[in-house]
Structure 1
Amino acid sequence: MSNDSGDSRHLETLDRDLHRLSYLESATSYVARPMVGPGVALIFIVLAGLMAAIFFGQDSNGMIVVVAAGFGAYMAINIGANDVANNMGPAVGANALTMGGAIAIAAVFESAGALIAGGDVVSTIAKGIIEPESMVTAEIFIWAMLAALLSSALWVNLATWVGAPVSTTHSVVGGVMGAGIAAAGFTAVNWPTMSAIAASWVISPVLGGGIAALFLWFIKANIIYTPDKIAAARKWVPVLVGIMAGTFAAYLALKGLKHLMRVSLGLALSIGVGVAIVTWLGMIPVIRKQSEGLENRNKSLKVLFGIPLVVSAALLSFAHGANDVANAVGPLAAIVQASQSGDFTQAVSIPTWVMIIGAFGISFGLFLFGPKLIRMVGSQITKLNPMRAYCVALSAAITVIVASWLGLPVSSTHIAVGGVFGVGFFREWDAERRLRLARGNMPDENRIAPEERRRRKLVRRSHFMTIVAAWVITVPAAAIMSAVLFFGIQAVVG
């Protein structure tokens, strides 16, 4: 009997100890979880440096290339953490994709875009913003590119931590400009190019928001507010999907395939029109079958926009990988070329190993740090459903094509986030308009007070102000950081 009671006490003590251990393990894992992402990112940066060491370890400038490869990997991780949210956020916010599905699709298509159609010439990263001839020696040019790469990566990292989707293109532009001014004075900067980029701060989001709002108005007027929503959807959804397919075909021809073959705007638009007609005709029976048995209500319409939205997110990712990978590896490629040949005035060719660092870095950054910005863009600015998210994706593609036609350097980040704001502000305006119409027949005692109406705003003003402020200061902040880093590098190395 005594043995039994002793055993039971022993087991109780063991249980308590095991519980304490399990609590300790849970606490340890909770504390350690935030360190997993930075740890994996650091390993990738070290591997990028080792890859550079394998190729350039014996060169006289080998150490500089190794350091630059680490900075390039760091920048690529930050592009994945911040920029890719613009493509995937609307689809996730509309519940057309899960977070895991969005990350998987984006990782595949971003890498494919970078490796298949990524730029082989990125002379504008250095030559379009500053005049390389103004740099006295290749050594000074390399220091300037190092400073530009690190400053832009640090700024994007800070913006991601704050929760502001900023333009990585503008971050690199600011970094190159600041380093150029520090190295060779204000005359080194191509000010007409910088003026056009500054104009795009306003043009990109306004154009993106206006086009997204226009399409949402069309969907509401022709489908949502009609007596027979399903019949209207059968008529107009194939047209809208055709427009989307044609727009993305033209967009990819302009942005994603320009490095594989020469594509004029006219040819891109012709490709787009052809794809739009074929898709429209092909979608008519598909939408008719999908809409069978659906109830005549708004919730039913979401089903019809789900697949087009997922496809648009994948295509946006491909084009983004093809276009924006140069932000990560452009200055790195310039450093490699200047280190090898001493030539820093010609167009910059990107070696395959450099492109691999950019492609995989974007995927790692998205996987490790992307969900925060994806949630912000997708659900914390304004509430999105598949119809609204479709309008955002379509406006992004159309705005890029219009900007290419006008010759304006625009930011995909500003366009996509501008589209989200455009949809949100249009919803506010439309709700207010419908309220005014209803209020005409409403007794005074039932009318909503102005304070209550302000509380019902459909766009979060705090996010709006944070994002706009981050956009405005991106170029000057990256430029100032880059100038300081250039002088620091010059003091240490020189």
Structure 2
Amino acid sequence: MPRTALPLGIALLFLLLAAALAAVGIPEGPLRWLVILGAVATGYMALNIGANDVANNMGPAVGAKAIPIVAALAIAAVFDAAGALLAGSDVIDTLANELLTREADFSGTTLIIVMIAALITAASWLNLSTFVGAPVSTTHAIVGGVVGAAVAAGGVGAVAWSTIAMIAVTWTISPILGGAIAAAIHAAIRITITRRADKLAAAQTWVPILVAAMAGIFAMYLATKSPGHFWRSNPATTMALGLIFAALGWAVAMPWVRMRSLVLENRKKQVARLFRPPLIVAAALLSFAHGSNDVANALGPLMAILAAARTTPDLALQSAPLWTLAIGAFGIAMGIALFGPRVIHTVGVQITKLNEIRAFCVALSAAITLLAASAFGLPISSTHVAVGAVFGVGFLREYLAIRDMKGAAVPVETQFVDAAMLNDTPQLAIARERRYERRYLVRRLKVARIGATWLVTLPASAGLAAIVYLLLDIAIA
């Protein structure tokens, strides 16, 4: 069997399993077959969420060579699935409630077709994006799908446009916040550690502090995402947990950093190795947070489908049945394992060169940005945050490189080239081009392509979903 056929075969088996779980989990009724179709579409969406979004958490760590890609896929699959199963049911009931207005007044069958069309379209767009190696927002894809299908079914009044406007604002807020925070962290590490004469001594002081900050921030963020049916954290408890875990992080990191420093040389590349274990831990925790949050992009429409099939007045159920969580969790995990490497390569390697320190800045920036957004109720995209953080680190390095080049003495060979630039010879043109190419540490073409896919994700998903809805409506009718 060809290598490309095996993952597709496994994915097909998973979709058949999703249909079987739905057939066992739902009662008999006239809309039962549509719910089963919706479960299959949910499984397809979950696979593509895992395939595309794994790069947000593991791409920087893999690009920095802190962890092999096979191990990264395994860690991401386990922690994403755990987050979806343990903490995912508390967020799945927001999608339909926030995007559709009561004016829509869809019948049960119409609402089910809307959600199936949204799932098929969003998953297909993510599938295409993953194939070309483009990291896109799974939230924007499913939002666009719901909007397009809902407008096709009930007109423009069926959609809560204020919510769509808020999501559109995050197109710019998410990457800017992620990039600015990552650049600030990287600048702070340069000042406190890597630019010091005695880098190891500085690392013994500051690396435990950075690990403590990471532990406290992740503890607070995960506390805010705790499932409400088990335990709900209030602001005071969240802050206390942050302080406790920050102290624990410092207590664990301090002796380890001092012990490791004894066998390292006083060089930047050696000091960067101290960031490898906290980077791997951060990537795992980001995967858990991703599973708990983004499983809603697959299960939200399915919950609306179940509610419509049961003819309840609410657009979504209060909690997800276990079989639906299983489809979402294992679908994301299988998407990571089967189709994740392509986008990981884009984020970790093709945008800018990463090492352990830069990748740690990306991970810590993502955690800080997501925590701040959760505190202020901003619906930001984890993909935009993570990729924006990579941009931020890369552009800071580029700015510093250009500044250092301007301040450095000009070599004799360069003086000769500058003096002779009036002679337009091919050799001098090539020398001049190479001199300026070395200044660019972020690939402009890759940035432009990613930005373009971000801009078109929501409108493209909406347009395609409208078409898919009309086709399904004709076929089912």
TM-score interval for Structure 1 and Structure 2 normalised by the shorter chain: over 0.9
Q: Which residue of 1 aligns with 2:274?
A: 304
Q: CA deviation at 1:137?
A: 1.2
Identity percentage of aligned residues: 49
Q: CA deviation at 1:336?
A: 1.6
Q: Does 1:461 align with 2:451?
A: no
Q: CA deviation at 1:186?
A: 1.1
Instruction: State which of 290, 296, 309 in structure 2 corresponds to 1:320.
Output: 290
Tell me if the contact between 1:253 and 1:263 (Cα under 8 Å) persists in the aligned partners. Answer: yes
Q: 1:446 to 1:202 in 2, by over 3 A?
A: farther
Q: Which residue of 1 aligns with 2:422?
A: none
Q: 1:362 to 1:219 in 2, by over 3 A?
A: same
Map 1:8-157 → 2, pairs under 5 A = 32-56=2-26, 58-157=28-127
Instruction: State which of 162, 172, 195 in structure 2 corresponds to 1:192.
Output: 162
Q: Which residue of 2 aligns with 1:177?
A: 147
Q: Which residue of 2 aligns with 1:19?
A: none
Q: 1:57 to 1:41 in 2, by over 3 A?
A: farther
Cα deviation, 1:290-349, whole Å, max 9, x if unaligned, reads 111311111211221110001001100111111111111111121122112344445553
Tell me if the contact between 1:117 and 1:259 (Cα under 8 Å) persists in the aligned partners. Answer: no
Cα deviation, 1:360-416, whole Å, max 9, x if unaligned, reads 111111111001111111111111100000000000010012222332110000000
> Partner letter of residue 4 of structure 2?
P
> Partner letter of residue 490 of structure 1?
D
Q: 1:199 to 1:385 in 2, by over 3 A?
A: same
Instruction: State which of 350, 356, 363 in structure 1 corresponds to 2:320.
Output: 350
Runs of 5+ unmatched residues, structure 2: 419-430
Q: Which residue of 2 aligns with 1:486?
A: 469
Tell me if the contact between 1:114 and 1:359 (Cα under 8 Å) persists in the aligned partners. Answer: yes
Q: What's the secondary structure of 1:458's corresponding residue?
A: coil
Instruction: State which of 234, 249, 257 in structure 2 corresponds to 1:287.
Output: 257
Q: Does 1:208 align with 2:178?
A: yes
Q: Does 1:238 align with 2:220?
A: no
- For normalisation by structure 2, the TM-score amounts to 0.93
Tell me if the contact between 2:108 and 2:311 (Cα under 8 Å) persists in the aligned partners. Answer: no
Q: Does 1:451 align with 2:421?
A: no
Aligned mates of 1:121, 1:132 — CA distance in 2: 20
Aligned mates of 1:442, 1:255 — CA distance in 2: 59
> Partner letter of residue 132 of structure 2?
V
Tell me if the contact between 2:50 and 2:332 (Cα under 8 Å) persists in the aligned partners. Answer: yes
Q: What's the secondary structure of 2:114's corresponding residue?
A: helix
Cα deviation, 1:173-198, whole Å, max 9, x if unaligned, reads 11111111111111221122111111
Q: 1:257 to 1:433 in 2, by over 3 A?
A: farther
Tell me if the contact between 2:119 and 2:145 (Cα under 8 Å) persists in the aligned partners. Answer: yes
Tell me if the contact between 1:132 and 1:344 (Cα under 8 Å) persists in the aligned partners. Answer: no
Aligned mates of 1:450, 1:469 — CA distance in 2: 30
> Partner letter of residue 303 of structure 1?
R
> Partner letter of residue 408 of structure 1?
L
> Partner letter of residue 472 of structure 2?
I
Further displaced range: 257-266 or 218-227 = 257-266
Aligned mates of 2:436, 2:5 — CA distance in 1: 41
Q: CA deviation at 1:279?
A: 1.7
Runs of 5+ unmatched residues, structure 1: 1-28
Map 1:327-346 → 2, pairs under 5 A = 327-345=297-315
Aligned mates of 1:182, 1:259 — CA distance in 2: 36
Aligned mates of 1:422, 1:430 — CA distance in 2: 12
Tell me if the contact between 2:133 and 2:346 (Cα under 8 Å) persists in the aligned partners. Answer: yes
Q: 1:158 to 1:181 in 2, by over 3 A?
A: same
Aligned mates of 2:61, 2:409 — CA distance in 1: 35
Q: Which residue of 1 aligns with 2:427?
A: none
Aligned mates of 1:437, 1:423 — CA distance in 2: 21
Tell me if the contact between 1:113 and 1:256 (Cα under 8 Å) persists in the aligned partners. Answer: no
Further displaced range: 39-48 or 252-261 = 252-261
- For normalisation by structure 1, the TM-score amounts to 0.90
Q: What's the secondary structure of 1:341's corresponding residue?
A: coil
Map 1:404-443 → 2, pairs under 5 A = 404-439=374-409
Q: 1:121 to 1:372 in 2, by over 3 A?
A: closer
> Partner letter of residue 479 of structure 1?
A
Q: CA deviation at 1:75?
A: 0.4
Q: CA deviation at 1:288?
A: 0.7
RMSD of aligned alpha carbons: 1.9
Q: 1:420 to 1:114 in 2, by over 3 A?
A: same
Tell me if the contact between 2:84 and 2:292 (Cα under 8 Å) persists in the aligned partners. Answer: yes
Q: Does 1:475 align with 2:458?
A: yes
Q: CA deviation at 1:257?
A: 4.5
Q: 1:41 to 1:132 in 2, by over 3 A?
A: farther
Q: CA deviation at 1:156?
A: 0.6
Tell me if the contact between 2:96 and 2:316 (Cα under 8 Å) persists in the aligned partners. Answer: no
Aligned mates of 1:184, 1:203 — CA distance in 2: 31
> Partner letter of residue 160 of structure 2?
N
Cα deviation, 1:49-96, whole Å, max 9, x if unaligned, reads 122122337322111011111100000000110011110111111111
> Partner letter of residue 107 of structure 2?
T
**Number of aligned positions between the proteins:** 464
Cα deviation, 1:94-124, whole Å, max 9, x if unaligned, reads 1111111101111111111111111245332
Q: 1:128 to 1:106 in 2, by over 3 A?
A: same
Q: CA deviation at 1:138?
A: 1.5
Further displaced range: 133-142 or 408-417 = 133-142
Larger Rg: 1
Q: Which residue of 1 aligns with 2:347?
A: 377
Aligned mates of 1:258, 1:446 — CA distance in 2: 69
Q: CA deviation at 1:444?
A: 5.9
